[in-house]
Amino acid sequence: MNSSSSPLAGGIPDRIILVKYGSFSHVNAKVERALRERFPSYDLEVVDAARDILASFPLQSLWLRLKASMKRLVPFLRGRHSPWDFVFQEPKAWELISLWILRNVDPAKVAFIFQTQSMFDASHPGIPFFIYTDHTREAHKRQPGGGSPAPASIKWRGLEAALYRKATTVFTLSRFCAESVVLDYGVPEERVLTVSTGINMDLPLLEESASTPEPVILFVGSEWGIKGGEELASAFKLVRQKMPSAELWVVGAQPPVIQEGMRVFGRVRLVELDRLFRKAALVCVPSRVERASMLALDAAAYGLPVITTPFGAGAERVRDGVTGLLVDPRNTEGFAFAIVALLEDQDRACVMGSAGRTMVEKEFTWDAVGGKIASRIRSLLPVS
């Protein structure tokens, strides 16, 4: 695609460009809606970094997908990833995206570029540039027990570091991520703003129930290892010794071993997930690595207490002793004790769940997030 054929070229600055990849766990749709609502006088162009940009270089993108898939053969064969997921780990993909932006985006036409995630570089030297991200490579490495992030070349690490420094503002989903942008990448603190995130569902209507919930522990996550599934399974054995009727329901992941009391649902539709949330007594995800802890917010929206870890964004989404409990998953006995404590004390669990629901309603809405983002952009740019 060249500038003469691009719908983004020419004219006066009356457009905003949102560059994304995939759904970003449903975040991208919420960001798009927020930008449309907060900047109604601008046309919003939504561009997918894979489908719209890299696919416009057919031969290079085909080679990149084949190369990336071979490098990450095991996770690719498990069927949980698209080849595109690995392409962005190649510096050549970053170069192609930057080239496309330079060819197709006219500074005279575009008020600002807004990019979600930090997997590529959609900046233009003549246009204000904003990023909304949940992680950095160095932040990942700060979390214990999660192993190192995917291998990255020196060139790739340099591209990531330069990306944050190019941004007019880096918006983050957590303070944990913001601290990394400042401390690990040297971005001035005034150019980094934590705006958090909203829940990616309609706030569920909750009905009063006189019955005591069954002792069901709900785990939701596609990555069994990184989300602490192995630690949870070990703790669950101890839980069953104390409470033989307890069950562990696993959604998304496929545990390598299924033990007594476990039920594995695999991937489910949202309507089924809604049903499982309503059946559970608590939600437990002892993540080794936690970028945004979206599940903790979803659980709180259903009035459920959450047991998770203090790693990453976990401590920002779960108020220890108030909306749930924070436990180091490497302490198997401690984790089992926390689960049993809430299953046995339903009054305490109910109070925590109610506090979590109130927290979500007040602090974790997309209206609040959109307002923070728009306020910062308007303070820096002459936009209406």
Domain spans, the chain = 15-198+365-380, 216-363
| Per-residue pLDDT, 227 | 87
Contact indicator for 170, 192 with CB cutoff of 8 Å: yes
Contact indicator for 308, 326 with CB cutoff of 8 Å: yes
* Contacts for 244 with CB less than 8 Å, ≥ 6 apart: none
For the chain, list the strands marked E by DSSP.
Answer: 15-20, 43-48, 110-116, 129-133, 169-172, 192-194, 216-221, 247-252, 262-266, 282-285, 306-308, 324-326
| Per-residue pLDDT, 293 | 81
- Same topology, domains 15-198+365-380 and 216-363? Answer is yes
| Per-residue pLDDT, 222 | 84
Contact indicator for 178, 169 with CB cutoff of 8 Å: no
Per-residue pLDDT of the chain (384 residues; tens, 9 = 90+): 444 345 555 557 899 999 999 998 889 999 999 999 999 999 999 999 999 999 999 999 999 988 877 776 655 555 556 778 789 989 999 999 999 999 999 999 999 999 999 999 999 999 999 999 998 988 877 776 555 566 788 999 999 999 999 999 999 999 999 999 999 999 999 999 999 999 877 889 988 776 778 999 999 988 888 888 999 999 999 999 999 999 999 999 889 989 999 999 998 998 999 999 999 999 998 887 777 788 899 999 999 999 998 888 888 899 999 999 999 878 899 999 999 999 999 999 999 999 999 999 999 999 999 999 999 999 999 887
- The DSSP call for residue 52 is I
Q: How far is it, in rounded angstroms, from Cα 332 to Cα 321?
A: 19
- β-pair partners for 130: 114, 169
Closest CA to 49 of 109, 103, 107, 120: 120
- β-pair partners for 371: none
Structure tokens at 196: 């958090």
Contact indicator for 296, 218 with CB cutoff of 8 Å: no
* Predicted structure pTM score: 0.88
Contact indicator for 217, 269 with CB cutoff of 8 Å: no
* Contacts for 250 with CB less than 8 Å, ≥ 6 apart: 219, 229, 262, 263, 264, 265
CA distances from 383 to 17, 40, 298, 373 (A): 14, 11, 33, 13
| Per-residue pLDDT, 148 | 58
Please give the helix or strand (H or E) that residue 274 lies within, else none.
Answer: helix 270-279
If one looks up domain 216-363 in CATH, what number appears? 3.40.50.2000
CA distances from 75 to 15, 80, 151, 166 (A): 39, 7, 14, 32
| Per-residue pLDDT, 79 | 56
| Per-residue pLDDT, 5 | 42
At residue 69, the 3 state secondary structure works out as helix
Of 3.60.70.12, 1.10.8.10, 3.40.50.2000, 2.40.50.140, the CATH number of 15-198+365-380 is 3.40.50.2000
| Per-residue pLDDT, 358 | 96
- The DSSP call for residue 14 is -
CA distances from 169 to 64, 173, 207, 219, 274 (A): 30, 13, 42, 35, 36
Contact indicator for 121, 96 with CB cutoff of 8 Å: no
